[in-house]
Structure 1
Amino acid sequence: MKHFEANFDGLVGPTHNYAGLSFGNVASFSNAESVSNPKAAAKQGLRKAKALADLGMTQGLLAPQERPDVHTLRRIGFSGTDAEVLQKAAQDAPALLQACCSASSMWTANAATVSPSADTRDGKIHFTPANLVDKLHRSIEPSTTGRILQATFADPKFFHHHSHLPEHASFGDEGAANHTRLCAEYGHAGVELFVYGQEATNPSALKPKNFPARQTKEASSAVARLHQLDDESCVFMQQNPDVIDQGVFHNDVIAVGNQNVLFYHEQAFLETDTKFAEIQAKINAEMHFIEVPTHKVSIQDAVASYLFNTQVITLPNGEMAIIAPTNCQENQAVSRYLEELVTLGTPIKQVKYFDVKQSMQNGGGPACLRLRVAMNEIEKAAVNQNTLLDDALFTRLNQWVDKHYRDRLTAKELADPQLLIESRTALDELTQIMHLGSVYQFQR
């Protein structure tokens, strides 16, 4: 039976804006208060997803969340009509309003951790939504994320859905951005690499000094238990605290893997040699550990270009390709390195560039926009087929974006009651296009 890795990209929501909410994310902070273009952002994401579908990849889409999140604003004490709630929040707590308007669910690498059926003891694909407790604007996502995932992967014969972990700092979970599955073939049992920033319950453990370590070892271990993974299927590795303090807020900003390839920066991890030996001992394949040395690409250049927030994919012909943002092409050191990489005899044979600058300016590259789900043809047939991208859905979603999205949005406009109406109208139509049922709270 054919096995493959599907990508489920996040649709950019109508309130895509630059509020600079993510402390520790250099791009997000540096572009705070800039004017965004939600329409361009959504179309850039759709073009990238369609290009991968045209390459022969299985490509799905995950719906955005309702924003502004009036329900959260009501939970924290704002009352009245929806328009009054927005007005009061803008006046009394503008930072809270901005958090409740973030379109950050577009970065579905943080949506959940996924373990394929080849790895789990019950032979099902497991999903655990990330609790994202480190950032207010993201911590309000998990419940809706769970409903969207269940509407997308609905058949309990094939898919096992878990609730997100307890909402406590000890279980800070950032989803697949800190998780990489390595394997010989997608249908073979693999090694799931969980990368964490700190061991929260160990006061003497190493952790960064300036920026938060969002992923804890405790969360990674809990997800592995929930997903029914054996010890031989897991490796737990700590991210280098020094690179977190340089703006590497997730592991997928400094490393990316696919099948038997791990592409990483020299400074990415602690105990690199020991943990790589453990991976090699546990995996039934010859691993390719591709190290990018600091003297060729600095941490600053890696973060600015998002060299490691690229997607490494296996094309239908068996070759691997890197899906990179055009920012990599525009960075001299990174562009020069990628030109060299494809000549080194590794499985990575080509680089394809895509413009996702609307996402990049908020701190998310191509890999942030996708959730990877390894599956087989039977499991694919059990997926909500209205979420899988083809020519017809691509055309319809572009028309949907043209109809409902603004081409200019500032932080001050987030309190506009009309924006809430526009967003709800758009999402109501999207649930019909993608057959999502009642995933949003405003639906009756």
Structure 2
Amino acid sequence: MTFAVEANCDGLVGPTHSFVGLSPGNLASQKNAGEVSNPRAAALEGLGKMRRLHDLGVPQFVLPPHERPAVSLLRALGFSGNDGAVIESAWKVAPALAAASCSASPMWAANAATVTPSADAADGRVHFTPANLLTNLHRSLEGPQTRRSLRRLFADETRFAVHEPLPAQPHFADEGAANHVRLCAEHGAPGVNLFVWGREAWERWDGAFPARQTREAFEAVQRRHGAARAVFLRQGRAAIAGGAFHNDVVCVGTRECLFFHERAFEDRAGMERQVRAAAEGLFEPVFVEVSEAELPMADLVASYLFNSQLLVVPGEDRLVLLAPVETRDNPRAHAVAESLASSNGPIGRVDYIDVRQSMRNGGGPACLRLRVVLTDEELAAANPAQRFTPGLHATLADWVERRYRDRLAPADLADPNLLTESREALDELVGILDLGADFYPFQRNGT
């Protein structure tokens, strides 16, 4: 077995972080639509979470925000003139399209890609497939820039393979690692890959909320990665109907432990049989289930207990669950969380973290990170300028304080000055993270 660690690649919140309510089925996003956001606080909260994990001994990398507003989208939809005129015209004529062009949704890096570590891949490389995220317009913009971002962070093609997103077609709707869990004895050992899907491509879907992940998309990802020991599981229909738009709202796992709500999977008994069969001879899976009676779906979605990070912390015998403060503040969720540590099970401690700005859009601690299992050699081959350190924390915090607004109402997104401010901020960021002078579209287009 090769020694490896699970690194976290966290999305840096962008300057246009706002509450516009763009995601049907995401109840927090819908509930807070129209409220005033604080991009500066959101970015600092995200950096604070990165620092928390760094101090626990978990390797961290920073994924940069995407350029927003996405003027290229508006031009493709027929708006013309200089960039300021394009934005102004779009907000007057088609405000919903303009709002989508401003979304800072790439901050939720759990949707950036699906990842297969070298221990499970047929060719011994780490594989990434950026998600096409085509169910929602604002997220469907992300795939190409996400691929560019991952190729800058993981540039060594002898060790890493960064694929194109799947075809942008409803049959292959792909939401990335938010619907993928890897279980194993140790991070460097062969593992079992759980691919959780919401609908089949040719299925007639009649749910109140969209099922965003197709089985066929994950089957394609598994084939192109050569991912070993794949288990394809259907997400519970009741979970989707209750506001669990991704499986990571009702389930989280690492090492041998799968921590989940009873409504997470359509066939709970079948899930356990398949996982045990795939893990046979490698490790003994540990299933930690929370019932609907213990935590009703309404409390689950309000607290985001399962959208926590389940961490292997150096020096600790049991896992650490890093949960949002909303879990602590919800009596039912808090009771479940605190019972974990006293049960002598695989989870030994629950810590809480404040990411309220992200939570108000339906993204907890787990949404903000993409997990990537890396050997020592792979870790060393990643872009060192994106490796989180206390020094980088200080630099980025200063950058955020200088560059980000502390108040952004939905109407403020129409301000052409926001585009200028954002581009100036990103132009400075590429130097901090050594991303290259052609990283963003506005740098390549000369605007």
TM-score, scaled to structure 1: 0.98
Q: What residue in structure 2 maps to residue 357 of structure 1?
A: 356
Q: What residue in structure 1 maps to residue 240 of structure 2?
A: 244
Residues 135-146 of structure 1: pairs in structure 2 closer than 5 A: 135-146=136-147
- Measure how far apart 1:235 and its partner are: 0.1
Q: What residue in structure 2 maps to residue 38 of structure 1?
A: 39
After superposition, give the CA deviation of every residue in 1:220-256 in whole Å (9 maximum; x if it has no partner): 10000010124xx100000111220111100000000
Uncovered stretches (5+) of structure 2, i.e. residues with no partner: none
Residues 154-303 of structure 1: pairs in structure 2 closer than 5 A: 154-203=155-204, 207=205, 209-230=207-228, 233-283=229-279, 284-303=282-301
For 1:245 and 1:347, the matched residues in 2 are separated by: 30
Residues 411-422 of structure 1: pairs in structure 2 closer than 5 A: 411-422=410-421
SS at the partner of 2:395? helix
Q: What residue in structure 2 maps to residue 104 of structure 1?
A: 105
Tell me the amino acid that sits aligned with residue 236 of structure 1.
F
Residues 127-142 of structure 1: pairs in structure 2 closer than 5 A: 127-142=128-143
- Measure how far apart 1:273 and its partner are: 1.1
Q: Is the contact made by 2:265 and 2:271 (CA closer than 8 Å) also made in structure 1?
A: no
For 2:397 and 2:363, the matched residues in 1 are separated by: 21
Of 35-44 and 331-340, deviating more is 331-340
Residues 37-76 of structure 1: pairs in structure 2 closer than 5 A: 37-76=38-77
- Measure how far apart 1:427 and its partner are: 0.7
Q: Is the contact made by 1:198 and 1:217 (CA closer than 8 Å) also made in structure 2?
A: yes
- Measure how far apart 1:337 and its partner are: 1.1
For 2:158 and 2:63, the matched residues in 1 are separated by: 21
- Measure how far apart 1:270 and its partner are: 1.4
SS at the partner of 1:442? helix
> Identity, % of aligned pairs?
51
- Measure how far apart 1:2 and its partner are: 2.9
For 2:12 and 2:193, the matched residues in 1 are separated by: 27
Which stretches of structure 1, 4 residues or more, deviate above 2 A after TM superposition? none
Q: Is the contact made by 2:3 and 2:187 (CA closer than 8 Å) also made in structure 1?
A: no
- Measure how far apart 1:275 and its partner are: 2.1
Uncovered stretches (5+) of structure 1, i.e. residues with no partner: none
SS at the partner of 2:314? coil
For 1:336 and 1:274, the matched residues in 2 are separated by: 28
Q: What residue in structure 2 maps to residue 23 of structure 1?
A: 24
- Measure how far apart 1:208 and its partner are: 5.4
For 1:138 and 1:276, the matched residues in 2 are separated by: 32
Q: Is the contact made by 1:208 and 1:244 (CA closer than 8 Å) also made in structure 2?
A: no
For 1:276 and 1:379, the matched residues in 2 are separated by: 32
Residues 322-361 of structure 1: pairs in structure 2 closer than 5 A: 322-361=321-360
Tell me the amino acid that sits aligned with residue 298 of structure 1.
P
For 1:135 and 1:209, the matched residues in 2 are separated by: 16
Q: What residue in structure 1 maps to residue 85 of structure 2?
A: 84
RMSD value, Cα: 0.9
SS at the partner of 1:393? helix
- Measure how far apart 1:319 and its partner are: 2.4
Tell me the amino acid that sits aligned with residue 22 of structure 2.
L
For 1:429 and 1:27, the matched residues in 2 are separated by: 32
After superposition, give the CA deviation of every residue in 1:84-118 in whole Å (9 maximum; x if it has no partner): 10110000000000000000000000000000000
Tell me the number of residue pairs that the alignment of Structure 1 and Structure 2 aligns. 439
Tell me the amino acid that sits aligned with residue 67 of structure 2.
E
Q: What residue in structure 2 maps to residue 408 of structure 1?
A: 407
